[in-house]
Amino acid sequence: MTQPPSPPPYEPPPQQQEALPACWWHPNRQTGLRCVRCERPACPECLREASVGYQCVDCVHTAQQHHRTQAAAYRRAGYGARTVAGARAPARAVVTPVLIAFNAAVYLLTAALAGDPVQNQGSALFADGTLWPPGIALNDEWWRLVTSGFLHYGLVHLGMNMLALWFLGRDLELLLGRLRFGALYAASMLAGSAAVYTFGAPFTATAGASGAIYGLLGAILVAVLRLRLNPTAAIGIIVLNLVLSVSIPGISLLGHLGGLVAGVLVMVAMVYAPERHRARYQAGAVALLVVAMIGLVLYRDAQLFEQICPMFALCRA
């Protein structure tokens, strides 16, 4: 069987070919297509598929450049940037100077009440806020576990702790973000108080932000290891401070060790938590540590009540 010959391909009449515009990038090619953005005529080779219709190569390139410039501007402004802890890096530290200002304000208030700008222990506010174990065990003055972290024995004690907080807190806050840094500071401060209350002498009053400061020291060490930096300097500073804690009388070694251990544990959870559900792991680790501290404090509370209560006529009654 024979088939009829196929019809020749359709060619528009010469007058219609001349009416088609030439491609903007290939003048020798006539085309009936246009870019939906700039409406310049373009051949199929010079068009790219877009969300709506087709755009020419120039418009696609311009849009890509715009997106890259906008993304760079957001990164410079701190938007969208994430640290190893999963936090958006703040432009500047805020929590650290607020903590310093609050500690200084508390000192000024106690010094004013004591009538001595250098020694503030004579004020009733200072006496009611220190970590005094009988007050907690007998009178349920639980606030002492927190308020003691914002009280200091004199101007020198305050100055040393606030100077350390300034140098350690700024970098850690930029690494962790404000919320995570606040959780680290609070957990370290509470751990220092819990260690003193649980393992310390029952009739010794303590105060100071040293537990929180040592927590920041431990966190710095973990951060250095996580970022694969040289840890020699961080280890040296921690060892030196522990030696000073042992050699200088009147310093609470238990408070320092409690804060140091808590700072290390919290920071490990912050920077080594898996990326998937990272915030949940971090919050869970901090909550677990707080529950453990509460358990130690409650156990010690019952123990101290049995030891101290017979010494007071009110308890014997």
Query: For the chain, what's the residue count?
Result: 317
DSSP state of 79: S
The C-alpha R_g of the chain, in whole angstroms, comes to 34
DSSP state of 5: P
Helix (H, G, I), strand (E, B) or coil at 312: coil
Could you tell me the two tokens for 287? 């909550």
Catalytic-residue membership of 188: no
Could you tell me the two tokens for 254? 């238990």
Could you tell me the two tokens for 4? 């009829």
Could you tell me the two tokens for 78? 């701190």
How far apart are alpha carbons 112 and 110 in whole angstroms?
5
Residues 6 or more apart whose Cβ sits within 8 Å of residue 249? none
Sign for the CA dihedral angle at 197, 282, 271, 160 comes to: negative
β-partners of residue 47 are: 56
How far apart are alpha carbons 198 and 311 in whole angstroms?
20
How far apart are alpha carbons 316 and 86 in whole angstroms?
55
Catalytic-residue membership of 256: yes
How far apart are alpha carbons 264 and 270 in whole angstroms?
10
Question: Is residue 239 exposed (0-12), middle (13-18) or buried (19+ Cβ within 10 Å)?
Answer: exposed
Residues 6 or more apart whose Cβ sits within 8 Å of residue 124? 113
Given the residues 148, 193, 210, 245, the one annotated as active site: 210
Q: Which amino acid is at 220?
A: I
How far apart are alpha carbons 15 and 37 in whole angstroms?
28
Sign for the CA dihedral angle at 218, 219, 220, 226 comes to: positive
Active site residues: 210, 256
